[in-house]
Amino acid sequence: MATLGYSSLVFALFAEIYGVAALMIGSVRKSKKWLSSGRQACLILFPLLSISVIALLIPLIRKDYRFEYVFETVNNAQPFYLRIAALWGKQSGSLLFWTWLFSIFLFVWTLKSVKTDDPLFPTAAILLLLNIGFFNVLNLFGSNPFNRFWLNNLNGKVYTAFSQISGTVSYQPADGMGMNPLLRHFGMVLHPPALYLGFIGVFIPAAYELSALIHKPDHFDWIRKTHSWFLFAWIFLAIGLILGSRWAYDVLGWGGYWGWDPVEVSALIPFLLLTAYIHAMIGFRKTGRYKAWVAVSGLLTALSIVFSTFVTRSGLIASVHAFSASPLSQYLILYLAVSLITVVVILLIARKNFASQTVLRKLSFEQTIQTREFFITAMIVVLFVIAAFCLWGILVPNISALFSEKTISIGADYYTSATGPLFLILVFLTGCFPLTSWGVPFTQKIRKIFFLLLALSAVVTGWICINLAVTQPLRIISIWVLVFSISVYLFDWIDHAFVINKDHRQFSFVRLFSQFSFRRPRLSTCLIHGSILLMAVGIIGIEFFQKETQFTFKPNDTRSFSGFELTFNRVTKEDTLEGYLTTAEFDIFQNGKNITTVYPKQKYYETSQQMTTIPGIKSDLKDDLYLILTDSETSAEKQQVAVTIFYNPLINWLWIGGILLCLGGILAYATSLRKEKTSS
């Protein structure tokens, strides 16, 4: 099985090298035979790499501990789905999985290109083959997932190598180490594949864009052909980030959803830039402008993914999200440098073609800032600035380490203070969006509505702040902006429910729902923007109003916290296949009524000598009561537990908004495919 998997990687490398050569020869000689042969090389990578993936999956499923990779990621107690997830649980398997997904994208895109005989295909395919070939080389020569254990009977030492070492025999341990206990959660099991789909989904349109800028820099038909690919990537980046946030909330035991870990931030940057690209693309389709924004944001997204790959896989950053230090860092630095130089050079050469040929209507500055173009541009700029602050936060500690013995530490405070006001501006711009029109400033009616909603939201904000005793200016402004944005969308929804009947506007209840059609972009736009506001509700709730306390309980003790009464019943300890599990039982009362029972837990893993926490959560749309078991005495004579308790108001609107965001993205993607098919 190891020989089959490794041989398939070798054959895939030959196919990648041959594909690059064939496409180059075909492009220079204008030879259809060579170009066709190059396409075949692109297509054969998927079956070859599938063989390698299957060759690693089978030992994982069978718990074949002769493989070093299997030993490090699987153990006898691990269920079937975690043995599958182990494929991307360590560096070498994750690289193989990444390369295999890349081959799927290349396979699909090549099939589509064959049908259209696209002249931009060869150069784009060469770029993609070079990228997939790079990761294949890392697997073959830097991080081989098919290494096995070999035992020297003379000295009793166990060696790791792909091929049998002289004087050794195959060795199989009785059990494996198993997957990192912190990663055994549905969010983290699905989080890497979702992010990989998003990351790799960007490479295809980015390569096509580079090909277009090289061969036809004054033609921008590539925007239409790549839009759906970028949107597909955006959806999976959103899914990956939301799953990662839920994992942090459920597993890490600090009562939060986002810790501004450098690896988290490196995954957020591509999502921000891709969001900027989507807005620029909308502006281009509506006005014919934004060419430079579209080109730059698309390619910078690809660069940010290369950077994120470097941060995660080089060992540069110590994080539960990242892989440990490895010899791959020098190759990844080279990969990042070559990618950066390539993109910058091509953008500089093609920059003169980005100027808009559209004749603009002359508007004063006051009128211009009331148009949809201004709000789109402002959104793009803010997203770029946030991404720049995030990038700086990652780089500063490492730059300081190069020039000083004292390393500068960047924590969550930097990110929240630097990006918090900018995210608030984004919420405000999102709220104003339904009131704006392309190329036209506010009408007198819209201007009155704008100021009326500002005033009404100020009244509502005052009432909220008085009831919640909010006095900090930034928090008051944040609540005001959010209330205003929500009120605008409610107004827009009701306004679209009016129909013209005999020259009079008449309210139609049916129109409240029929205005949203699956065939029109309004539904996806409202879902995406509305979900952003719902997520902002959850973020403001937990960031501004979270409460925390610690209690020690003995059986039948009752403590009050944030309007709840908690009664401790018992604590139990039971052995598991990998260690032991401690479970505490609490009854939760509110207004004298028993509303639920929660079971915060601690699980200890003997092999890794690691303790993990499983929170007990009372959850509804209003709030979460979140209990973490921090210490316990389980003997029958002296039962006692220590718990940390968080009160997280409105947090579930973050998860609801995240789900709606992804649904809106899926609808937008379906709409883009339909438009692409129609235009073709």
Closest CA to 347 of 214, 189, 485: 214
pLDDT at position 360: 59
C-beta of residue 223 within 8 angstroms of C-beta of residue 290: no
Mean pLDDT (the chain) is: 90
Residue 515 has pLDDT above 60, yes or no: yes
Residue 350 has pLDDT above 90, yes or no: no
Q: What CA–CA distances, in Å, run from 276 to 377, 385, 426, 676? A: 9, 11, 11, 21
Residue 440 has pLDDT above 80, yes or no: yes
Label residue 545 by pLDDT band (50, 70, 90): very high
Residue 580 has pLDDT above 90, yes or no: yes
Q: Is the dihedral of CA 553, 556, 557, 562 positive or negative?
A: positive
Instruction: For the beta carbon of residue 298, count every other beta carbon within 10 angstroms.
Output: 29
* 457/556 Cα distance (integer angstroms): 46
| Rounded mean pLDDT, 121-149 | 93
DSSP string, 203-243: HHHHHHHHHHHHH-TT--THHHHHHHHHHHHHHHHHHHHHH
Q: Which bin fits 520, alpha (ψ -120 to 50), beta or left (φ > 0)?
A: beta
Q: What CA–CA distances, in Å, run from 33 to 12, 28, 622? A: 21, 12, 65
Q: What pLDDT digit, counting tens, does each position of 44-74 carry? A: 999 999 999 999 999 999 999 999 999 999 9
CA atoms in the 13 A half-sphere facing the CB of 309: 29
Retrieve residue 603's tokens. 């699980």
Q: Is the dihedral of CA 470, 475, 480, 482 positive or negative?
A: negative
Residue 398 has pLDDT above 60, yes or no: yes
| DSSP state at residue 481 | H
Label residue 317 by pLDDT band (50, 70, 90): low
Instruction: Report pTM.
Output: 0.93
Closest CA to 191 of 100, 80, 320, 96: 320
| Rounded mean pLDDT, 183-211 | 92
pLDDT above 90 coverage of the chain, percent: 65
Label residue 680 by pLDDT band (50, 70, 90): low
Q: 2-16, 64-78, 463-477, 516-530: lowest mean pLDDT where?
A: 516-530
Residue 457 has pLDDT above 60, yes or no: yes
The interaxial angle of helices 262-287 and 186-215, nearest 10 deg, is: 50
Q: 71-80, 114-123, 274-283, 317-326: lowest mean pLDDT where?
A: 317-326
pLDDT at position 126: 96
* 164/521 Cα distance (integer angstroms): 60
pLDDT at position 569: 94
Retrieve residue 330's tokens. 């020098």
Closest CA to 143 of 94, 100, 83: 94
Residue 383 has pLDDT above 60, yes or no: yes
| DSSP state at residue 576 | -
C-beta of residue 538 within 8 angstroms of C-beta of residue 674: no
Residues in the chain: 680
| Rounded mean pLDDT, 213-217 | 86
Look-up: residue for tokens 């099939």?
111
For residues 411 and 31, which has the higher predicted lDDT (pLDDT)? 31
Label residue 581 by pLDDT band (50, 70, 90): very high
* 246/535 Cα distance (integer angstroms): 13
| Rounded mean pLDDT, 223-227 | 87
Going from the N-terminus, what domains does the chain have, and what CATH number goes with each? 1-179 (no CATH), 377-545 (no CATH), 547-652 (2.60.98)
pLDDT at position 182: 86
Phi and psi at 565, nearest 5°, equal -115, 130
